[in-house]
Amino acid sequence: MRRYVKQWPTRLWAVEGANGAGRPLAQRLVTAGEKVVDVPAKLAARVRLFDTGHNRKTDALDAHSIALVAVRTHGLRVVVEDGELEALRMLTDRRDELARQRVQTVNRLQRLLSELLPGQRKRDLSAAQAKAMLATVRPRDIAGKTRRRMAAEEIADLVTVDAKLKKIKAELKAAVLERRSGLIDIYGIGPAGAARVLADVGDVARFADRNRFASWTGTAPLDASSGEQTRHRLSRAGNRRMNHVLHVAAIVQIRHDTEGRAYYRRKLDAGKTPMEALRCLKRRLSDVVYRQLVADAQQQGGAGPGGHCGATRQSSAADSHPLIDTSDQPLPGPAQPTLSRPPASRKTLAKAVP
């Protein structure tokens, strides 16, 4: 690709999803000194929708729609090389893989122990507890001996996975602190959660405000009002990993004596169901995370929301009294005119001037 484009000295690369599937290609191009912009998949889909071809999705149509977005859209995010952030992203993905592997190992171990020791199943099983339980059983039949041997192997695997998780958690904490991020100070967000937020968000300047960020995290409720009934429903769109981080933080705050628990109880007293109150808390935590990311970017000399340095925000995420209810949807402002107004006639001017 690089050899082919040498015939165009002045060029711009447009990559769809430079933070997702297109990340390896975008990073390689940036490392080679090319200028790359990130094209959101939603904008490319809109071009295909309004173009001929009945919104068919092929490689040629994808390339054409992405190029049109890059040519006609101003303010697209320019991809920059960030080796530390890429390493943080790889460590976070590895940690998630190890966590899933640990869950599978514990499930297999629980099944073997329940067959060896009926009625003694523990909900949160550690390697030390499993060793103590396994030491109390001495089966004499061939099936029992096989189960015990397999359980011992699973315990050894669990010890290995726990050691790897402990090591990678320390690496993630050091990496987050090295980037001078204050996400760890938010109650309920640990090193792994903060690393996931930094890895998936990348440059916070690509979000114009906290409402765009909440839509991306899937915490902004969708309007489902009908007639005189005003209600909102859960949004299943957005980044589900970020939504999971906010969900864990909300559950942790509810279980402890925090401002999040007080806010959750106020929503319950206002007549909301437990699930609705939890969604409100997650929406508020999304504002807290966004404000912390913007503060970190401004402290490091980066861009503020919308890509402008020093821009201010109207975010009441951490205030004791929010400016608006978290279930309210932000209303769009007046649309910018795209056509020039026709000149006013003399009769209209005569009526307008006293």
User: Would the pLDDT of 56 be above 80?
Assistant: no
Model confidence at 317, pLDDT cuts 50, 70, 90, reads very low
* Residue 80 clears pLDDT 50, i.e. is over it: yes
pLDDT(3) > 70: yes
What does the mean pLDDT of the chain come to? 82
* Stretch among 5-14, 49-58, 315-324 having the lowest mean pLDDT: 315-324
Pick the range with the lowest mean pLDDT from 34-48, 49-63, 296-310, 338-352: 338-352
Rounded to two decimals, the pTM is 0.73
**Please, is 174 exposed, middle or buried when counting C-beta atoms within 10 Å of its C-beta (0-12, 13-18, 19+)?**
exposed
**Per residue in 89-148, pLDDT tens?**
899 999 999 999 999 999 999 999 999 998 887 878 899 999 999 999 999 999 999 999
pLDDT at 166: 94
Coil/strand/helix, residue 302: coil
Looking up tokens 């402990």, which residue turns up?
166
Give the whole-angstrom CA distance, residue 121 versus residue 139: 18
Q: Answer whether residue 324 shows pLDDT above 80.
A: no
Domain ranges of the chain: 1-79, 83-179, 191-224+233-295
Closest CA to 308 of 216, 215, 207: 207
